[in-house]
């Protein structure tokens, strides 16, 4: 039997590849968290192999809302040109023409749109003129493509509908995070399949139409009899979540999962395991020629083949093998690892008991390696690294942490440091890591999974014997009635899991070369009297290389005013980028010496907000990042706080004016700029500002002693909450944390309407972080 080997590596996506289809031998379509859908075809038309060195995406359709895309299907209606249907975070389904004759890279997806879902569209399937979609809004919808309307609305699942299939024009199959699979006739549920112990992620209908398979977070694949509803067989082999399932023309099954592997199954037995150099293998597609294409968390599409003529060159195979071997495996992810009992290399002379079996061996130098039995030989799949907290603290940026992980983000780049303490909210740690390294917030879930997996599931509430109220999915825990029903006076035995949260989220990182390159280019575009001299540019460049308090102060007082006050409006963004990185580096000592910095910053912010609008969303986003970096800085007190003689703080008139202006700008962009690619990011940055203000309130004695001081922020939150909650879950979560902080500090005594909407939108769809937060809110009556 011939095993699959690498055929091609297709690079181009900038984030995880979440969905993939292969309608023909020379066409692969992938959807990604980078907000694009990409179409791939062999660069040489008479060569059937996708070649890594020459293959490029024919086109990259961008989501008009810059939301991540994670579902895709091929629509081939008789008598019409074929279309690509794609869906994602913005709850829209886009139908895009495959023709590229009138397209150019960067065009938006969507010749047509299907509008109706209220949450992330995570699955799509086409058959017989119908499209069916599954969503985080806990529904599936069957769409009539003649009228572009919902033909059947499948309601009944309690949580997200992760996958959907069409059996015939009136019969449908769905699976959900509520652990069930359901059969529908029209819009009526007619049968329920129960047996998985965790989220059901994927469905596969067998060609005979009498059986189907399901993949689950419980690590199993089940094969079911459609007629009786009985389980025919359960397949065990994956070590973690199983994400996708497909069937080969010869009847073999293909599965992918969170254990880094692709597994080929025959008659219920794993006959081949392929390990990839990424954490999550999200999706798989089978080409008509029996090749398979997979997408993963390393932003890459890979094609594997059993056909000798399509196998990649030896150099490419070696590169792939080395990338797998160079992976690091945390010892917490391996069951019962006993370092004293690990054998040497001689263990590799004995065959594995079964395909995919894994053993640990110790090198003569003491390094522990993981090897996997694959295709009749042991293949190294990585080095085992110890990341467990042994009671020894790790120092990072002047603070001590229980854990300090090395995280590989990009091949060839040094690993990033991810610090974590077991007593902090895992989502806050993830957000801090992403903000510190200027990474997109869409990676939050992956970072959270990484932390949970590599801390061996440490649960402080279990260690302290704390018990929390159970969560009832039929109720909205963010509503007034729910909080009244479950509220009680906090006692010393109550242990809040999330609230209060006081770690600031900042936007401090920058790349000096990129800033200077952009500055030089924009400088040349200004009128002669407004340009910087070559000497000025050299000073700015030198300051950015060092950027201590002195250099940051000089940038703020001597150079930034010229940009934000005299340059053309379209060029001023870079001035606020410089202001963003300078502010958090100016020390209290330098601020006390002079008031120039405070006056300059106040004027710059006021001027920038005057010209920021729906047509200049990037400028508004940069100003919001600058404001975030102000919080906790002495400069913030100088600008916006009035200390009183009794030690209590109040926000001044400039701060109230700032909030009024931001409210006006928010309503402007939510009305006129909703489809800008940076809209969601800007809204998230505004939610971050509110969160940071709440953390500042909890941490600052002068504010805590005067709960009414934060009334302007509370009123602002009530006014803008609906827009933030509707934008995206990350923004909604940061806003909800802010509410919890203010409630904890007794500065928020009502339940705003937007909080109840957040509960309806995100808690009931199964987002664990919202559920955890809701438990805390029960204690904060």
Cα 140 from Cα 123, distance rounded (Å): 9
* 205 lies in some domain: yes
The 10s digit of each residue's pLDDT in 597-608 is 888 899 999 999
* The pLDDT value given to residue 317: 93
Q: Which two tokens stand for residue 94?
A: 């886009």
Q: Quick one: 199 and 339 in the same domain?
A: no
Cα–Cα dist 262/244, whole Å = 10
What distance in Å separates the CA atoms of residue 426 and residue 451, rounded to the nearest whole number?
7
How does pLDDT run across 137-160, given as a tens digit for each residue? 899 999 998 888 999 999 999 888
Do both 579 and 601 map to the same domain? yes
DSSP letters for 607-673 = HHHHH--GGGHHHHHHHHHHHHHHTTSHHHHHHHEEE-TTS-EEE-HHHHHHHHHHHHHHHHHHHH-
Same-domain pairing of 367 and 415 = no
Handedness of CA 278, 281, 282, 287 (dihedral sign): positive
Residue 281 has pLDDT above 90, yes or no: yes
Residue 312 confidence (pLDDT) above 50 = yes
Q: Give the Å distances, CA to CA, from 430 to 504, 649, 698.
A: 12, 31, 21
**Whether residue 620 is found in the same domain as residue 676:** no
Partners of 143 in the beta sheet?
131, 150
Mean pLDDT on 398-415: 67
Cβ contacts of 548 within 8 Å, gap of 6 or more: 585
Same domain for 97 and 17: yes
pLDDT of 550: 86
Mean pLDDT (whole number) for 693-707:
86
Q: Are 604 and 576 in contact (CB under 8 A)?
A: yes
First to last CA, the chain: 65
The answer to whether position 648 is within a domain reads no
Which of 451, 467, 483 is a domain's end point? 467
**pLDDT attached to residue 385:** 61
In the prediction, which pLDDT does 112 show? Answer: 81
- Amino acid 393: pLDDT: 66
* Residue 532 structure tokens: 């910087």
Q: Residue 81's pLDDT band (boundaries 50, 70, 90)?
A: confident
Claim to verify: residue 367 and residue 241 sit in the same structural domain: no
For residues 742 and 502, the answer to whether their CB atoms sit within 8 Å is no
Mean pLDDT to the nearest integer, 181-189: 96
For residue 620, the domain's CATH number is 1.25.10.10
- At residue 35, the pLDDT reads 86
Q: Are 732 and 762 in contact (CB under 8 A)?
A: yes
254 CB-side CA count, 13 A: 23
Q: How far apart are CA 58 and CA 35, in angstroms?
A: 16
More confident residue, 668 or 477: 668
What's the rounded Cα separation, in Å, for the pair 581 and 63? Answer: 30
Q: What is the mean pLDDT of residues 441-445?
A: 62
Average pLDDT over residues 702-713: 86
pLDDT tens digits along 31-68: 998 888 998 987 554 455 675 544 445 566 677 777 78
Q: Both tokens of residue 463?
A: 């260690």
| More confident call, 699 vs 397 | 699
Question: By three-state DSSP, how is residue 193 classified?
Answer: strand
The verdict on 360 and 305 lying in the same domain is no
Q: Are 172 and 154 in contact (CB under 8 A)?
A: yes
Q: Which positions ≥6 away from 754 have C-beta within 8 Å?
A: 718, 721, 722, 724, 725, 735
Query: Would you state the pLDDT for residue 14?
Result: 86
Rounded CA separation 440/514 (Å): 18
Please count the CA atoms within 13 angstroms of the CA of 781 that sit on its side-chain side: 17
Q: Mark which of 282, 312, 342 sits at the end of a domain.
A: 312
Residue 511 and residue 458 share a domain? no
Strand partners, 211: 225
d(CA 273, CA 282): 16
Higher pLDDT, 749 or 306: 306
Report the chain's C-alpha Rg in angstroms.
28
Do 152 and 286 share a domain, yes or no? yes
pLDDT for 372 beyond 60:
yes
Question: Does one domain contain both 110 and 209?
Answer: yes
Q: Which residues pair with 37 in a beta bridge?
A: 31, 61
Q: State whether residue 478 is helix, strand or coil.
A: coil
DSSP characters over 225-263: ETTT--EEEEEE--SS-EEEEEE-TTS-EEEEETTSEEE
Domain residues for the domain of 499 are 471-504+659-781
Residues 558 and 453 in one domain: no
Q: Residue 680: inside a domain, yes or no?
A: yes
Tell me if 254 sits within 8 A of 262, measured CB to CB: yes
Task: Give the chain's mean pLDDT.
Answer: 82
Q: Is the pLDDT of residue 746 over 80?
A: yes
Inside any domain, residue 269: yes
Kindly state the average pLDDT of the residues 327-346.
60
Whose CA is closest to 626, among 638, 635, 637, 615? 635
Q: Which of 312, 340, 360 is the last residue of a domain?
A: 312
Nearby residues of 578 by Cβ (< 8 Å), 6 or more positions away: 515, 519, 540, 555, 559, 560, 563
Say if CB 381 and CB 326 are below 8 A apart. Answer: no
Q: Are residues 58 and 90 in the same domain?
A: yes
Confidence of residue 106 (pLDDT cuts 50, 70, 90): very low
What is the model's pLDDT at position 658?
95
pLDDT at 472 over 50: no
How many distinct structural domains can be found in the chain?
5
SS3 501: coil
Cis peptide before 683 (omega within 30 of 0): no
pLDDT tens across 513-559, in order? 889 999 999 999 999 999 999 999 999 999 998 888 889 999 999 99
d(CA 605, CA 636): 12
Cβ-contact 96, 84 below 8 angstroms = yes
């Amino acid at each position: 039997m011939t095993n699959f080997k690498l055929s091609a590596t297709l690079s181009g996506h900038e984030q995880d590849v979440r969905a993939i289809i292969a309608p023909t031998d020379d066409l692969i379509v992938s959807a990604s968290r980078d907000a694009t859908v990409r179409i791939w075809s062999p660069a040489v038309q008479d060569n059937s192999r996708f070649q890594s060195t020459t293959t490029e995406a024919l086109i990259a359709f961008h989501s008009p809302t810059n939301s991540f895309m994670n579902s895709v299907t091929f629509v081939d209606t008789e008598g019409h040109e074929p279309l690509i249907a794609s869906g994602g975070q913005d709850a829209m389904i886009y139908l895009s023409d495959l023709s590229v004759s009138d397209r150019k890279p960067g065009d938006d997806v969507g010749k047509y749109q299907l509008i109706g879902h209220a949450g992330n569209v995570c699955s799509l399937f086409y058959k017989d003129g119908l499209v069916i979609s599954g969503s985080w809004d806990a529904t599936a919808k069957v769409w009539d493509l003649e009228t572009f309307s919902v033909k059947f609305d499948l309601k009944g699942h309690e949580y997200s509908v992760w996958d959907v299939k069409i059996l015939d024009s009136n019969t449908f199959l769905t699976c959900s995070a509520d652990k069930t699979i359901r059969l529908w006739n029209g819009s009526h549920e007619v049968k329920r399949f129960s047996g998985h112990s965790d989220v059901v992620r994927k469905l596969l209908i067998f060609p005979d139409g009498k059986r189907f398979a399901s993949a689950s977070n419980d690590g199993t694949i089940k094969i079911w009899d459609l007629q009786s509803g009985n389980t025919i067989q359960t397949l065990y082999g994956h070590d973690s979540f199983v994400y996708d399932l497909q069937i080969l023309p010869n009847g073999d099954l293909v599965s992918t999962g969170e254990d880094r592997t692709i597994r080929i199954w025959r008659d219920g037995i794993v006959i081949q395991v392929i390990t990839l150099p990424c954490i999550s293998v999200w999706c798989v597609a089978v080409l008509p020629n029996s090749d398979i294409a997979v997408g993963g968390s390393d932003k890459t599409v890979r094609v594997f083949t059993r056909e000798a003529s399509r196998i990649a060159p030896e150099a490419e195979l070696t590169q792939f093998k080395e990338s797998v071997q160079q992976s690091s495996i945390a010892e917490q992810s391996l069951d019962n690892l006993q370092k004293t009992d690990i054998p040497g290399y001689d263990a590799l002379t004995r065959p594995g008991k079964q395909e995919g079996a894994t053993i640990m061996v110790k090198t003569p130098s003491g390094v522990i390696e993981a090897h996997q039995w694959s295709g009749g030989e042991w293949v190294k799949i990585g080095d085992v690294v110890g990341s467990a907290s042994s009671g020894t603290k790790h120092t990072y940026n002047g603070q001590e942490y229980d854990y300090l992980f090395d995280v590989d983000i990009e091949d060839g780049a040094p690993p990033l440091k991810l610090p974590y303490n077991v007593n902090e909210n895992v989502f806050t740690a993830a957000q801090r890591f992403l903000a510190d390294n200027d990474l997109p917030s869409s990676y939050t879930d992956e970072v959270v999974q990484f932390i949970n997996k590599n801390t061996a599931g440490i649960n402080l509430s279990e260690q302290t014997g704390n018990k929390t109220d159970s969560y009832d999915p039929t109720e909205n825990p963010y509503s007034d009635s729910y909080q009244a029903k479950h509220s009680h006076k906090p006692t010393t035995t109550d242990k809040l899991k999330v609230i209060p949260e006081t770690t600031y989220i900042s936007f401090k990182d920058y790349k000096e070369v990129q800033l200077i390159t952009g500055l030089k280019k924009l400088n040349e575009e200004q009128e002669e009297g407004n340009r910087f001299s070559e000497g000025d540019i050299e000073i700015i460049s030198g300051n950015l290389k060092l950027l201590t308090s002195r250099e940051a102060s000089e940038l703020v007082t001597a150079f930034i005013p010229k940009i934000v006050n005299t340059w053309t409006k379209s060029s001023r963004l870079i001035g606020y980028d410089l202001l963003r990185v300078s502010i958090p580096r100016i020390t209290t000592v330098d601020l006390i010496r002079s008031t120039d910095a405070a006056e300059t910053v106040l004027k710059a912010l006021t001027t920038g907000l005057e010209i920021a609008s729906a047509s200049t969303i990037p400028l508004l986003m940069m100003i919001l990042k600058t404001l975030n970096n102000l919080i906790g800085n002495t400069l913030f007190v100088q600008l916006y706080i009035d200390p009183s003689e009794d030690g209590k703080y109040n926000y001044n008139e400039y701060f109230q004016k700032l909030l009024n202006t931001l409210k006006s700008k928010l309503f402007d962009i939510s009305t006129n700029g909703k489809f800008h690619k940076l809209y969601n990011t800007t809204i998230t940055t505004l939610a971050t500002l509110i969160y940071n203000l709440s953390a500042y309130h909890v941490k600052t004695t002068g504010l805590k002693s005067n709960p009414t001081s934060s009334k302007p922020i509370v009123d602002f939150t009530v006014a803008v909450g609906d827009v933030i909650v509707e934008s995206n879950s990350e923004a909604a979560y940061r806003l909800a944390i802010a509410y919890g902080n203010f409630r904890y500090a007794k500065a928020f005594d009502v339940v705003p309407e937007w909080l109840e909407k957040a509960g309806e939108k995100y808690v009931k769809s199964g987002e664990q972080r919202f559920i955890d937060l809701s438990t805390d809110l029960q204690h904060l009556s």
